[in-house]
């Protein structure tokens, strides 16, 4: 037999000598055909698995993209929580300290504030409101981005709802402050 009779493909299946050794065909020439047939089947099986893997690659890539989108969603959710803590908690605390605790149907007007303090409160409330409105716009953009990626944005919806409530309370507080000077 010549070396060119059968060569391994680029996958490294081995040369014809390794096939002979593997199937003991060197001792029994009748096994040579069977050995070569097994080697050919093995090569075909390798090619088939490569084709299967290539067909599965888009699905695997899609799954990896989805996992990446979910990881990004949870990172964004953590950032939303941190920003809400940083922006919303001080607003709620200050509203509570001012003696104006918003309750359903509450129309309590803040009285007893000196005009200077009222003006400072108005400036603070306007600044806090502006910050909360920016935060709301950012959370809405995140929600839209993740919804387009097919992710359930229920957790972001909850954060957005609590932020909306705080913004509403701050608007009411501003209205009360403005009404107290009239």
Q: Is the pLDDT confidence value at 44 over 60? A: yes
Structural domain of residue 35, as residue ranges? 3-49
Are 106 and 40 in a shared domain?
Answer: no
Are 161 and 115 in a shared domain?
Answer: yes
Are 83 and 161 in a shared domain?
Answer: yes
Number of independent structural domains in the chain: 2
Are 36 and 76 in a shared domain?
Answer: no
pLDDT at 67: 77
Helix ranges (H only) for the chain are: 16-23, 31-97, 115-148, 154-180
Tell me: the pLDDT tens digits for 111-161?
A: 433 456 677 777 888 888 888 888 888 888 888 888 888 888 888 888 888
Assigned domain for 57 exists: no
Q: What is the DSSP letter of 161?
A: H
Task: With beta carbons less than 8 A apart as the criterion, state whether 177 and 122 touch.
Answer: yes
Assigned domain for 55 exists: no
Are 35 and 74 in a shared domain?
Answer: no
Give the closest residue to 166 by CA, choosing from 94, 92, 114: 92
Q: Is the pLDDT confidence value at 14 over 50? A: yes
Range with lowest mean pLDDT among 3-17, 26-40, 134-148: 3-17
Are 22 and 112 in a shared domain?
Answer: no
Assigned domain for 59 exists: no
Are 93 and 147 in a shared domain?
Answer: yes
Positive or negative, the CA dihedral 142, 147, 161, 156 is negative
Instruction: Give dist(CA 178, CA 69) in Å, integer.
Output: 45
Are 34 and 111 in a shared domain?
Answer: no
Assigned domain for 61 exists: no
């Amino acid at each position: 037999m010549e070396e060119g009779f059968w060569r391994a493909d680029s996958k490294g299946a081995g040369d014809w000598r390794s096939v002979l050794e593997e199937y003991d065909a060197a001792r029994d020439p009748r096994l040579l055909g069977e050995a070569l047939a097994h080697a050919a089947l093995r090569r075909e099986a390798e090619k088939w698995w490569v084709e299967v893997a290539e067909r599965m690659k888009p699905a695997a890539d899609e799954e990896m993209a989805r996992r990446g989108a979910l990881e990004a969603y949870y990172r964004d959710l953590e950032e939303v929580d941190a920003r809400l803590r940083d922006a919303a908690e001080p607003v709620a605390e200050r509203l509570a300290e001012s003696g104006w605790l918003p309750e359903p149907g509450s129309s309590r007007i803040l009285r007893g504030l000196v005009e200077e303090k009222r003006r400072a409160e108005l400036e603070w409330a306007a600044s806090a409101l502006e910050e909360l409105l920016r935060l709301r716009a950012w959370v809405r953009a995140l929600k839209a981005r993740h919804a387009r990626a097919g992710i359930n944005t229920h957790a972001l919806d909850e954060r957005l709802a609590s932020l909306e409530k705080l913004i509403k309370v701050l608007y009411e507080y501003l209205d009360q402050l403005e009404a107290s000077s009239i």
